[in-house]
Amino acid sequence: MRPLYGWLALGVGVLLVALAELWLNNYYQRVLAVMAINIILAVSLSLTNGFSGDVSLGHAAFMAIGAYASALLTIPFRTKALILPDLPAWLAGLELPFGLALFIGGLLAALAALVIGVPVLRLRGHYLSVATLGLMVIVQVVALNWQTVTRGARGLNGLPPLTTLLWAYGWMLVTVVVIWRLVRSPFGRAMIAVREDELAAACRGVRVFRTRMLAFVVGAFFAGTAGALWAHLITAITPASFSFLITFNVVAMVVIGGADSISGAMIGGVLMTLLPEWLRRLETSLSIAGQPLYGLSQIVIALLMLVVMIFRPQGLLGGYELTDLLRRYMRSSVDESMQAAGQA
């Protein structure tokens, strides 16, 4: 019955997304699309930070690569001739469908992760964190100075608004399913073994470097697709769009939900989408001495992270999946019913 329930849930999800596109206004559609993109980012980062134990801060760099690649491949060639007159001829005349451009953006991000991962993944702990943070700075500097391709600080604007709810939630589903299956495969068990004890895993025959590289590259691929979706949702990107703030928000999603839980990462993505939107309204409606409370959302999110790290360091779900919690609840309910029947 499981495949039947899966297809039924998929059909209901597609129907709900289609109804949302028909009935909701642009604001709510954009919030829902951002929520799906945040879930992609959080789940892909949990593969690296949670399941393989490598603390990476370079997700914004992979987002930027995917965003710029997808933008350059989908901008109409007439527009390119106006805003990017010095583009190479093969790129100036290239205009690809959004799905193909999005996939290529993810592949380029994965290729960058493969190249940078060779030296970087020889590090561990805070050394690795600083190295991946340096990657984000490098990508920003390249985007800022590569005037003929990225237009520097002016960025690329007027991108085709191609990201719809179906695209966003379709890729969210692909991300969750792929990483779910990967985590529950022999590769996933190898990742967890490396995270728990690298030396013991190596003694048991696990190829440590290859396992860590796989998690790093797969996470970068989905971060690149999330960047492409985000670029065609906002329709304007600059090097400043992919700053440390994005990295902080994605890390907050993973920490709040649970680093080694896919369901927890999804819950963190939902919270980190809805909470800032609600707090932004408070920023403009509340004031102290006539001054609006700008910056309240960042303060509250930072405090929330501190509270979670102090009182619930394993995250809200604590390494469990929602399916595990539901199974435990159903089992406990059955046990209680059997005990009650025995007492009767």
Interval 151-163: pLDDT, tens? 888 888 888 899 9
Instruction: Tell me how crowded residue 84 is: count the other CB atoms within 10 A of its CB.
Output: 19
Per the document, the length of the chain is 344
Q: Is pLDDT of 12 > 80? A: no
Using 50, 70 and 90 to split pLDDT, how confident is the model at 276? confident
- Average of per-residue pLDDT across 61-80: 91
Percent of the chain with pLDDT over 90: 26
Looking at residue 207, what is its pLDDT?
87
Q: Per-residue DSSP letters for 213-271?
A: HHHHHHHHHHHHHHHHHHHHHH-EE-GGGSSHHHHHHHHHHHHHH-TT-HHHHHHHHHH
Q: Is pLDDT of 84 > 80? A: yes
Q: Is pLDDT of 65 > 70? A: yes
Using 50, 70 and 90 to split pLDDT, how confident is the model at 204? confident
31 neighbors 169 (Cβ within 8 angstroms): no
Q: Is pLDDT of 262 > 80? A: yes
- Average of per-residue pLDDT across 19-33: 88
Looking at residue 264, what is its pLDDT?
87
Using 50, 70 and 90 to split pLDDT, how confident is the model at 228? very high
Q: Which two tokens stand for residue 296?
A: 């309240």
